[in-house]
């Protein structure tokens, strides 16, 4: 049984979908979990449903807000053990028609948001000489996808960010890893057309769409002491879509 008692975890995008499942899994294993998203009432509802969690509204693309939030958590809880950079958005479209604003927004939230989080927690983790950073990428960051140049670039960027951060922080006992989910049933994928969903389904060797819990199980493992010899890795949790 993986045990996170006395650990403090921060999960971004925890108001629904994959982030919510990760927050629940970490809390069930004993961690105090701080749940964040932009919408205060949604993320508060998640924290309220758990016995050892709190919440805050924060836009991860603002380095100022993210830094302030982490400063407050460390002052209050005395430590910071686990950061899950999960918050992410899509603004899909073919490059020919993609607006610069849609490129920038996706980069600011998906990629710079993770950089902001890492910057905000790293001093505390370095002082503790321990920590776990988990970035939620995507199989699309490994394969690319027509109509998702901004999203795929942000998710591929997370893989490079993960490897670089892992190299910078490994001597301090901090591991940094990426999970690359495949096609997971959440609000993000619910808006896809039935035809796209059916086509995606056909590409999954294990023959089913993933659930947020499939990702949460891997996040829990990577957050645990048992995963202490794994760093800089990107682990696809995708029903076998990407096999390397």
Ligand X SMILES: NC(=O)c1ccc[n+]([C@@H]2O[C@H](COP(=O)([O-])OP(=O)(O)OC[C@H]3O[C@@H](n4cnc5c(N)ncnc54)[C@H](OP(=O)(O)O)[C@@H]3O)[C@@H](O)[C@H]2O)c1
What is the contact surface with ligand X in residues (CB under 6 A)?
Answer: 12-13, 15-19, 37-39, 42, 59-61, 86-89, 109, 113, 136, 138, 181, 183-184, 186-189
Q: Are strands 131-136 and 82-85 parallel, antiparallel or unpaired?
A: parallel
Establish whether 151 is a catalytic residue. yes
Kindly tell me which of 93 and 173 has the beta carbon lying closer to ligand X: 93
Beta carbons within 8 Å of 181's beta carbon, 6+ residues apart: 18, 136, 137, 138, 139, 210, 214, 215, 237, 238
Kindly tell me which of 89 and 126 has the beta carbon lying closer to ligand X: 89
Q: Say how far apart CA 80 and CA 8 lie, in whole Å.
A: 5
Task: Kindly state the tokens that stand for 215.
Answer: 């990702």
CB of residue 57 to ligand X, shortest distance in Å: 8
Do 215 and 21 contact (CB within 8 A), yes or no? yes
Kindly tell me which of 91 and 172 has the beta carbon lying closer to ligand X: 91
Beta carbons within 10 angstroms of residue 154's beta carbon: 28
CB of residue 68 to ligand X, shortest distance in Å: 14
CB of residue 208 to ligand X, shortest distance in Å: 13
Q: Torsion over CA of 98, 104, 108 and 111, rounded to 10 degrees?
A: 60
CB of residue 234 to ligand X, shortest distance in Å: 12
Kindly tell me which of 130 and 203 has the beta carbon lying closer to ligand X: 203
Instruction: Please identify which of the residues 151, 183, 221, 229 carries the catalytic annotation.
Output: 151
Which residues are known catalytic residues? 151
């Amino acid at each position: 049984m993986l045990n996170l008692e006395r650990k403090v975890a921060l999960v971004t995008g925890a108001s629904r979908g994959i982030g919510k499942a990760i927050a629940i899994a970490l809390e069930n294993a004993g961690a105090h979990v701080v749940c964040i998203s932009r919408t205060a009432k949604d993320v508060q509802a998640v924290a309220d449903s758990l016995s050892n969690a709190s919440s805050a509204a924060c836009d991860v693309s603002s380095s100022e807000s993210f830094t302030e939030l982490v400063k407050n958590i460390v002052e209050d809880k005395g430590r910071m053990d686990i950061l899950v950079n999960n918050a992410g958005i899509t603004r899909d479209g073919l490059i020919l028609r993609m607006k610069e604003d849609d490129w920038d927004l996706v980069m600011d939230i998906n990629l710079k948001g993770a950089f902001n989080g890492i910057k905000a927690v790293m001093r505390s983790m370095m002082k503790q000489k321990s920590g776990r950073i988990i970035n939620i990428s995507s199989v699309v960051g490994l394969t690319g996808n027509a109509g998702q140049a901004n999203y795929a670039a942000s998710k591929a960027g997370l893989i490079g960010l993960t490897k670089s951060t892992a190299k910078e922080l490994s001597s301090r006992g901090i591991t940094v890893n990426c999970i690359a989910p495949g096609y997971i049933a959440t609000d993000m994928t619910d808006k896809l057309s039935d035809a796209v969903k059916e086509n995606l389904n056909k590409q999954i060797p294990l023959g089913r769409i993933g659930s947020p819990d499939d990702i949460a199980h891997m996040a829990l493992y990577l957050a645990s002491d048992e995963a202490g010899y794994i760093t800089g890795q990107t682990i696809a949790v995708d029903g076998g879509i990407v096999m390397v």
